[in-house]
Structure 1
């Protein structure tokens, strides 16, 4: 990928973060780390599982070795792979194995996002899937300590998920698409 392509991918992901994740408060913990510049965006040019796995190793090791005040969380963005959601979902087993091999289970957690994300036992067009939809496949590397601190505000995390479904249901698919178009008001500034 050239510099312009990478910049375009980063811009689309920032728009999604600012308007959907933070703007709709889908993740009540995201705004504080984002405005402090502690969210690392990494665009992978990997086109196969081997190259992506090598990059995942690098990013997990970097996150583990860097103080949270510098990098609290990393979004590993994968624009050149996983057009099909099931392929991405299957790759998550490899990602979990990498986390285990690096002995980071309990320190770092993986979350996943995809343009066609689909929860088990839902139809592809079920609006609840939009809570985990993003412009590109993304592996979100999260520090367990940061999650634990943030979760103290929400003793029952299912409340967040239920609220998110209600928010995207009210917005609807057309509202979601409109929200993520360039030029909309209400972006979070850094």
Structure 2
């Protein structure tokens, strides 16, 4: 009986991963997806890191999240680029230039602000998924999920700003009972 159960579970495990294989009948091809061509992007002036719009991420975090209004732009490559600001409950602040590619649900860090040094470009940064599974710092997913992106297409910058500003209106609850 134990042997039969063991065989069934190993077979079921193999079937679970089979759906991830490409299916030629659905028009999928085997191999790595091609690299999408990204526009050349010059880092914005540090002076654009003002006039912030705050947006709601979730009740799980005590951090506050902002995007500089004047920094939001959509390139010909359909990547939305912006300056973000994260304030922790302890008072630490992180300011960075980031991009979100709506079509592939990916994000990228272009630079972060270092006091006295301006923008600093990190080495070895590449596109990564917007959803990391970390609910406590999931602002990239919040931006992707309806604030900066409309499905797989980028929002207009003016529309994105309106949606970010309105994101707090959809909260229901109180600080004592929690928000949803």
Asked whether the two chains share a fold, i.e. TM above 0.5, the reply is no
More strand by share: 2
Determine which structure has greater relative contact order: mean sequence separation of CA pairs < 8 Å that are 6+ residues apart, divided by chain length.
1
Larger radius of gyration: 2
TM score, norm. by length of structure 1:
0.26
TM score, norm. by length of structure 2:
0.27
